[in-house]
Structure formats: C-alpha cells, structure tokens
Structure 1
Amino acid sequence: MLPSVAVFGILRFPPERMSEVRPHLKALVEATYRHDGCLAYDVAEDLLDPGLVRFSELWPDHASLARHLQAPHIEPWRTAARDCGLSERKFTAYDVAGSRSV
C-alpha cells in the first residue's frame, strides 16, 4: 500500500530528562505499529541537538492519521510527555502525490 500522507515533526525535552522519555516513546511507537495502521512510524533523538526528538510517519490516508490521534494510547503518551518536561511540539502533515525510489 502506498502512503498518501507523510507527517514530520519534532518534540523537545530537557536533555537531562531523556532517560525518562525513552520508555514512553518506545511504548508509543509499539502501540502505534500494533493498532493504528501506519505504514512507517520512525522516532529518533537528534545526535547534534540533545533533547530534540524527530518523528517521520507515513499513513495510508488522512482517516488513518485521524484515528491514530484519537487512539487510546495517545493521551497517556501526551500526559507522560508533559510530565517529562515537553517544551516544544511541531508537526506538519503533507499530502503525498506519489512514491518512487531515489
């Protein structure tokens, strides 16, 4: 199945709190893959900017993304992120016209 929606985003945490954040991120990613119908859901800490977490996501359609944002595991993640000092959140969704290898 080809994606029709790509999402890119960042979250920022205090660098000294990342050891607390990681288990919650792991649970979020695992639950998202298990339940939400994503095609790809990748999360990585920025090596050059401590405390910055980057997201890249591929979804089959906007409806799948909307269901993900309302899934039962999202609110516990959001609460944990706030409790771990979340200070910045930016996400943008893009319509994907087509895919090809480069």
Structure 2
Amino acid sequence: MQPTVAVFGILRFPPEQMPEVRPHLRTLVETTYQNDGCVAYDVAEDPFDPGLIRFSELWPDHESLAKHLQAPHIEPWRTVARRCGLLDRKFTAYDINGSRSV
C-alpha cells in the first residue's frame, strides 16, 4: 500500500516518568498496528534528550489518520499521558502524494 500521508511528531515527559510511560506507549503502538490501518507507526525515545519521544507515521490517506485519532485506544492513551505529566506535544501531517524514494 502506497502511503499518501506522513506524520512526524514529539511528546515530552518528565524523564523520571518514562518507566511508567513505556508500557502504555507499547500498548498504543501495538494496538495502532493491529487496528488502525497504518503503513508504518514508529516510535523511539531520543537517546540524547531524556523524556523526548519521537513519532514517525505513514498512513494510506487522511481518512485512515482521522479514524486513528478517534479510535477507542487513543483516549485512554491521552489520559495516561496527562497523568504521567505530558509536557509537550507537537505533530504535523504532510501530504506525500507523488513522492519518490531517493
């Protein structure tokens, strides 16, 4: 499936909260892969900036992304993130129609 939407983003938590965040983040990623129709949904902690989580996502279309954002597992994740002291959240979606590999 050729993706048409790329999403890049970050979440920032207090570094001491990361042990609590990780299992919930894993659930989010696994559930997203199983249910939401993403092409790729990659998440990583920044090794040089404790508490910073980077996201890169590929979606077949904007409709799939919109459904993901309303999926049943998203609100529980958001609740946990707030409880764990979410400090920052920035995500940007880009149209990648007509893109090619370099």
TM-score range, shorter chain: over 0.9
Which residue in 1 is equivalent to 2:82?
A: 82
Amino acid at match of 1:26: R
Aligned-pair CA distance for 1:101:
3.1
Q: Is contact 1:44-1:54 (8 Å) kept?
A: yes
- Secondary structure of the residue aligned to 2:57 is strand
Q: Matched residues in 2 for 1:98 and 1:25: separation?
A: 32
Q: Is contact 1:2-1:99 (8 Å) kept?
A: no
Structure 2 residue ranges without an equivalent (≥5): none
Amino acid at match of 1:69: L
The share of aligned pairs that are identical, in percent, is: 79
Tell me which stretches of 4 or more aligned residues in structure 1 moved more than 6 Å.
none
Aligned-pair CA distance for 1:99:
4.0
Which residue in 2 is equivalent to 1:46?
A: 46
TM-score (norm 1): 0.97
Q: Matched residues in 1 for 2:71 and 2:12: separation?
A: 22
- Secondary structure of the residue aligned to 1:38 is coil
Aligned CA-pair RMSD: 0.8
Aligned-pair CA distance for 1:11:
0.2
Aligned-pair CA distance for 1:90:
0.2
Is 2:94 the counterpart of 1:94? yes
Which residue in 2 is equivalent to 1:19?
A: 19
- Secondary structure of the residue aligned to 1:75 is helix
Structure 1 residue ranges without an equivalent (≥5): none
The alignment of Structure 1 onto Structure 2 pairs a total of residues equal to 102
* Aligned pairs for 1:62-81 within 5 A: 62-81=62-81
Q: Matched residues in 2 for 1:14 and 1:6: separation?
A: 27
TM-score (norm 2): 0.97
Q: Matched residues in 1 for 2:100 and 2:15: separation?
A: 36
Q: Matched residues in 2 for 1:56 and 1:26: separation?
A: 15
Q: Matched residues in 2 for 1:62 and 1:68: separation?
A: 10
Aligned-pair CA distance for 1:88:
0.2
